[in-house]
Structure 1
Amino acid sequence: MACCVVFLNLTSVPIAQADGEAAGDFDYYVLALSWSPTWCALEGDARQSPQCAQKEEFSFVLHGLWPQYEDGWPQYCRTTARDPQKRTTAAMTDIMGAPGAAWYQWKKHGRCTGLAASDYFRLARLAYDSVEIPEVFQSLKRDVKLPASVVEDAFLEVNPNYTRDSVTVTCRDRRIQEVRICLNRALMPRDCGPDVIRDCTLSDARMDGIR
């Protein structure tokens, strides 16, 4: 496997967040796919999350489907939509790793879509299923170091409708953290805003193997 990873540029565009905005007011979506072994190593193991159990073998999991402004994003929005029932969040475990993750994503981001909870999770699953995850990552069993650009290249190769401006790779603690894909409201790829395009530029980012 080729090697080359990306360093998270924290000096780019200032981050703008808006708490308590009206639900449904946003420009596009960011589909965030987290590399599960990184999250487990940095947070999940300490929390004893079921996502990190040896038998699970998660690769890229759905972190969230986030409403986004052209610059910044809404969060914890005002909505009349009811919170999801436990069975609704539990049903997302197969792609999100744990039901608690689904609940948190609804609370912070899902409410901002203006959708009912069941519709939000249905849309999130549809967005996740629309992405082809490169086979090399689905079967990665050993720890490697590589450039983040290699991860981006792999996603672009198997998802030919994506462009470099619609996909970004982030790193955390010198590890591959996430692949983020920008989508319009019809879930078609579009260019990311300036606050999303903050590609990691490491040449030796760590990517732990699937457990």
Structure 2
Amino acid sequence: MALPSSALAQAYQCKVPDQIELPRPVQPDGPSLRTAVGGYVLAVSWSPEFCRGKRGDDPENYQCNGSIGRFGFVLHGLWPEAPRGKAPQWCALSPRPSIDDLRQNLCMTPVPWLLEHEWAKHGSCMAATPQAYFKASRIVWQSLRLPDADRLSRQQVLTAGDLRRAFVAANPAFPKGSVGIVASNGGWLRELHLCYGKTFLPRACDKRGYGPKDTVPLKIWRGL
């Protein structure tokens, strides 16, 4: 079943498989923390970097094995942040997302178990149901225009600031300070962390969330 183009977001191409199995129930990797929500982070993964190595050969890994399409930027998740201190997490493990929920969001986050993980760890602390959480995630995700990372990767000298400026040029409502970057130890782009206030207006990331300074060299793995 091909999805409407608006739902494909940053997928190069995507076709939802005819059958999807419900993943095993997620297991918390930390304590339940029910703290107030003071803002949000939208974590956006650069798929070619994530799929380097063995992940690309996993027959169960839709994001990397090419069986449902090829992906550039994909949504890791929408994370509530606390006004200060540790972020809320693992507020509930149920209700679980349905197969229909997975199908509807697979071209946004092409990993069924990750969809459930993001709902249970993060979404359950900001929404009453998986459907409400995924709807909020889709609204924020589909409001973005993400930069051409393939083109940027071919730039002779690329810095973290260049990527931030490209993002802001495509999304003028964002101040440059709201575009966090996560890179590997080798300087390869892994994720964008976009920082929002409680009303989902972009705001400056804190120092840790901002990541490498603008002058730091950055590399982007194309993997194509």
Same fold (TM over 0.5): yes
Q: Is the 8 A contact 1:61 1:95 kept in 2?
A: yes
1:166-202, Cα deviation, whole Å (9 max, x unpaired): 1111101421011111112332212223442223667
Q: Is the 8 A contact 2:152 2:163 kept in 1?
A: no
Distance 2:46 2:93 in 1: 33
Distance 2:164 2:152 in 1: 19
Please name the residue that 1:52 is paired with.
Answer: 64
Moved more, 164-173 or 145-154: 145-154
Distance 1:104 1:57 in 2: 22
1:71-109, Cα deviation, whole Å (9 max, x unpaired): 4312212x4851211221232110112222211111211
Counterpart check, 1:34 vs 2:45: yes
TM-score using structure 2 length: 0.74
Counterpart check, 1:167 vs 2:179: yes
Size of the aligned set, in residue pairs, is 191
- 3-state SS, counterpart of residue 165 of structure 1: helix
2:87 maps to which of 69, 73, 77: 73
* CA separation of 1:210 and 1:104: change in aligned 2, threshold 3 A: same
- 3-state SS, counterpart of residue 205 of structure 1: coil
* CA separation of 1:141 and 1:30: change in aligned 2, threshold 3 A: closer
* CA separation of 1:205 and 1:185: change in aligned 2, threshold 3 A: same
Unaligned runs of 5+ in 2: 1-29
- 3-state SS, counterpart of residue 108 of structure 2: helix
Q: Is the 8 A contact 1:67 1:113 kept in 2?
A: yes
Unaligned runs of 5+ in 1: 1-17
Q: Quote the RMSD (CA, aligned, Å).
A: 2.8
Please name the residue that 1:6 is paired with.
Answer: none
> Displacement of 1:47 after TM fit?
4.2
Instruction: Please list, as runs of the form range in 1=range in 2, the aligned pairs for 1:77-96 lying within 5 A after superposition.
Output: 77=91, 79=92, 82-96=95-109
Q: Is the 8 A contact 1:81 1:114 kept in 2?
A: no
Q: Match of 1:92, as an amino acid?
A: N
Q: Percent identity?
A: 25
Please name the residue that 2:74 is paired with.
Answer: 61
- 3-state SS, counterpart of residue 191 of structure 2: strand
Distance 1:197 1:147 in 2: 14
Q: Match of 2:71, as an amino acid?
A: F
Instruction: Please list, as runs of the form range in 1=range in 2, the aligned pairs for 1:5-154 lying within 5 A after superposition.
Output: 19-22=31-34, 25-41=36-52, 44-45=55-56, 47-48=58-59, 49-54=61-66, 56-71=69-84, 72-77=86-91, 79=92, 82-134=95-147, 136-137=148-149, 140=151, 146-154=158-166
Please name the residue that 1:207 is paired with.
Answer: 220
Q: Is the 8 A contact 1:67 1:74 kept in 2?
A: yes
TM-score using structure 1 length: 0.78
* CA separation of 1:26 and 1:46: change in aligned 2, threshold 3 A: farther
> Displacement of 1:70 after TM fit?
3.3
* CA separation of 1:201 and 1:172: change in aligned 2, threshold 3 A: farther
1:131-186, Cα deviation, whole Å (9 max, x unpaired): 1112x22x559777732221111101111110122111110142101111111233
Q: Is the 8 A contact 1:67 1:112 kept in 2?
A: yes
> Displacement of 1:69 after TM fit?
1.4
Question: Which structure has the higher relative contact order (CA within 8 Å, separation 6+)?
Answer: 1
